[in-house]
Amino acid sequence: MNRFAAIGTAALAVLSFGLLAQPLGTVGQPGELHAIFQFDGQAYVRDSILDPTGQYYPEDKFRGQGFATFTYTQGGLRAGMRYENYQNPILGYPQGFKGQGIPYRFVQFEQDGFDITVGNFYEQFGSGMILRAYEERGLGLDNALDGVRIATRWKNGLQIKGVLGKQRRYFSLGEGIVRGLDAEYNLPWKAGAAVLGGSFVSKYQPANDPELNLPANVAAGALRFNLAKGKWSLNSEYVYKANDPSFDNAYIYRPGQALRSTLTYRTKGFSVQASAKRIDNMSFRSDRSAQQFDVFVNFLPPTSKLHTYALPALFPYATQINGEQGGEIDVVKAFSKGSWLGGKTGLTVALNASWAESLQKSPVASGVPIGAIGTDGYRSNWLERGEIPYFRDVNVEFRKKFSKKSKGMLTLYDLRYNKTVLNDGVPDAVLLANPGQDSLLTVRAAVAEFQHTLPNGQTLRYEGQWNTANGFRGDAVMGLVEWTVSDRWTVAVQEIYNYGHPSVGRRIHYPILSLIHFSGNTRIQINYGRQQQGIFCVGGICRVVPPSNGLAVSFTTSF
């Protein structure tokens, strides 16, 4: 089936669901059909400076990918499907997506107090540490479940959800079966709000390893609560997972545990939020041999700030699924107009600090290496700190409005980045056996941004960035100018110069010119220039982005 026939088939199929909706009591009620279309493509230019050996230069020279989502609603019925096409995936995107098809289709209806979905669906229990089926298109992550979801909410504040299905694995399904049940209850508390929840999730995958006795069923349970009273709120969740030998943990039999708690205080002009977590052997996939982003049952939330500016973002933190402990604190203070620090227009200061390190680990028995295959892996004391620092981030942001037409921001960063763990992927067992062999980088950076409102609805935004990094990438500087010509056109030019790279031949300029056009629900963006090699992260999940040069086009529209 070619791509146009597939899109037509999808649209007709979705429309047919509307005819089937009549028995649900929606006779005479008009239905609505909505669609979203997106295409991303890149034409690659051979760049001997950026890529001397040509290892990243594709033979096909142009790569593109896109999707079309159709959704039909009528009364209590909702149905849809998504056609996807990857010819071939853009560099850095998971190559398993190569091809085309309709991997996502569903029918959802509400009746007699029940919400039922048949087909593909996304779902999350609690914070997601026990189950989260979701999509992150920028990373190429989609672990949607294909099966049945049933949810109901009772008047007494009790909500129950159940799921059963297999997970998406590119254009097919993973081998394992996922089964889950979640309940949440709003406790009657006049002084504030209190919510208590619990989850149970298990996965089944046949086990036929000739050497290891692998469990076919792996179960996990979770308890959580949320309390809020006045200016204070507290939420916490604990997850326990039975032993789950897998590729991720080198096939050890240690059970998994995770604990995450967040305390928040908010009042006018001031807020503070503190989070702490401990993750121990919590990789949870429906296929024990899967790698990269494939068939994750759960999601482990990071406790670090996601930096969006180009230079600080070159040193992101990726959650260590096999074990980590850490915390984060956010403090925001608004100094009002007329105060000593606020001046005539006020000032907002935001301080963020986070850290992550390895778990404390010791051998399970004398003479048995930590993490040895077929053993319980290691012992760990909750009250002791780990020996390997992964990441530390302290940043402070100043936001100031200078006038009705001008505002600015200054952010200062101090980072400690363990390149050996976060970039090279060396496991704890190797570093514990060879202490002092990891490379802990000190990175300092500054970002300044200014925005001015011009006549006739125009705006001009300037951005300047600078960072130092001993070894690895070295020092760099970045500048950007963005001109919003109207509500329909924006043009931007940016330049990154890696002037302090340890290798003189890698002291490269990375210019990019961007043109963005808006027209109703349609957005078109065209970029031309060089892309740095690095790691792209969203929510603590990362993928490697290779260096490239060329023309990139993105087109999005909806109706």
- Which are the contacts of 238, defined by CB distance < 8 A and separation ≥ 6? 222, 223, 224, 257, 258, 259
Looking at the fold, whether 237 and 379 belong to one and the same domain comes out as no
Q: Label residue 15 exposed, middle or buried (CB < 10 Å: 0-12, 13-18, 19+).
A: middle
What element of type H or E holds 431? helix 428-433
Residue that terminates a domain, selected from 285, 301, 317: 301
Q: What's at 429, amino acid-wise? A: A
Residue 182 CB: number of other CB atoms within 10 A? 23
Q: E strand or H helix at 84, and its extent? A: strand 77-87
CATH (domain of 130): 2.40.160.10
Asked if residues 126 and 525 have their Cβ atoms less than 8 Å apart, the reply is no
How many domains, in total, are found in the chain?
Answer: 2
Q: Are residues 453 and 424 in the same domain?
A: yes
Per-residue pLDDT of 26-59, as tens digits, reads: 556 789 999 999 999 999 999 999 999 999 999 9
**Contact criterion met (CB below 8 Å) for 547 and 512:** no
Amino acid code (one letter) for 455: P
* Structural domain contains residue 453: yes
Note down pLDDT in tens along the chain; length 559 residues.
444 444 444 444 444 444 444 444 455 678 999 999 999 999 999 999 999 999 999 999 999 999 999 999 999 999 999 999 998 899 989 889 999 999 999 999 999 999 999 999 999 999 999 999 999 988 899 999 999 999 999 988 899 999 999 999 999 999 999 999 999 999 988 889 999 999 999 999 999 888 899 999 999 999 999 999 999 999 999 999 999 999 999 999 999 999 999 999 999 999 999 999 999 999 999 999 999 889 999 999 988 998 989 999 999 999 999 999 999 999 999 998 888 888 888 999 999 999 999 999 999 999 999 999 999 999 999 999 999 999 999 999 999 999 999 999 999 999 999 999 998 999 998 998 888 888 999 999 999 999 999 998 899 999 999 999 887 889 999 999 999 999 999 999 999 999 999 999 899 999 999 999 999 999 999 999 999 888 878 877 888 889 999 999 999 999 9
Taking the C-alpha atoms of residue 229 and residue 273, their distance in angstroms, rounded to an integer, is 15
User: What number of other Cβ atoms are within 10 A of residue 347's Cβ?
Assistant: 18
pLDDT at 400: 95
**295-305 burial by CB neighbour count: b if 16+ within 10 A, else e?**
bbbbbbbbbbb
316 and 212 co-located in one domain: no
pLDDT at position 138 is: 86
Residues 139 and 257 placed together within one structural domain of the fold = yes
Tokens of 175: 């081998």
Report the alpha-carbon distance of residue 510 to residue 530 in Å, rounded.
5
**Nearest one of 195, 215, 213, 196 to 204, comparing CA atoms:** 215
- As a whole number of angstroms, the distance between CA 115 and CA 409 comes to 46
Letter string b/e over residues 358-370, b meaning 16 or more CB atoms within 10 A of that residue's CB:
bbbbebbeeeeeb
Q: Are residues 343 and 492 in the same domain?
A: yes
Q: Are residues 139 and 244 in the same domain?
A: yes
The answer on 387 and 370 residing in a single domain is: yes
8 A C-beta contact, residue 321 and residue 279: yes
Q: What is the model's pLDDT at position 25?
A: 45
What are the backbone dihedrals phi and psi of residue 457, each rounded to the nearest 5 degrees, phi first? Answer: 75, 15
How many helical (H) and strand (E) elements, i.e. helices and strands, does the chain have? 3, 31
Q: Does 189 map to a domain?
A: yes
Q: Are residues 206 and 316 in the same domain?
A: no
- Position 198 scores a pLDDT of 98
> 131: part of which helix (H) or strand (E)?
strand 131-133
Within this chain, do residues 282 and 426 fall inside the same structural domain, yes or no? no
Terminus-to-terminus CA distance in the chain, angstroms?
25
The residues, any chain, with a CB within 8 Å of residue 430's CB and separated by 6 or more, are none
Residue 535 belongs to some domain of the structure: no
How is residue 381 written in tokens? Answer: 């004391």
Please, what is the Cα angle at 263 between 260 and 156, to 5 degrees?
85
Q: Looking at the structure, do residues 165 and 139 belong to the same domain, yes or no?
A: yes
> How far is the C-alpha of 127 from the C-alpha of 81, rounded, in Å?
27
Q: Are residues 249 and 364 in the same domain?
A: no
Write the CA distances from 118 to 31, 34, 165, 208, 300, integer angstroms: 20, 20, 10, 31, 27
Contact (Cβ atoms closer than 8 angstroms) between residue 123 and residue 133: yes
Provide the residue range defining the domain that includes 347.
306-507
* Domain finish residue from 269, 301, 333: 301
User: What per-residue confidence (pLDDT) applies to 28?
Assistant: 60
Specify if 26 maps to a domain.
no
Task: Judge if 354 and 245 occupy the same domain.
Answer: no
The SS3 of residue 128 is: coil
* Cα 334–chain centre separation: 29
The answer to whether 97 and 70 have CB atoms below 8 angstroms apart is: no
Q: Is residue 255 part of a domain?
A: yes
- Under a CB-based contact definition with an 8 Å cutoff, are residues 44 and 57 in contact? yes
pLDDT value at position 156? 84
What is the token pair recorded at 371?
A: 């993490």
End of a domain among 507, 527, 552? 507
Contact 323, 279 (CB under 8 A): yes
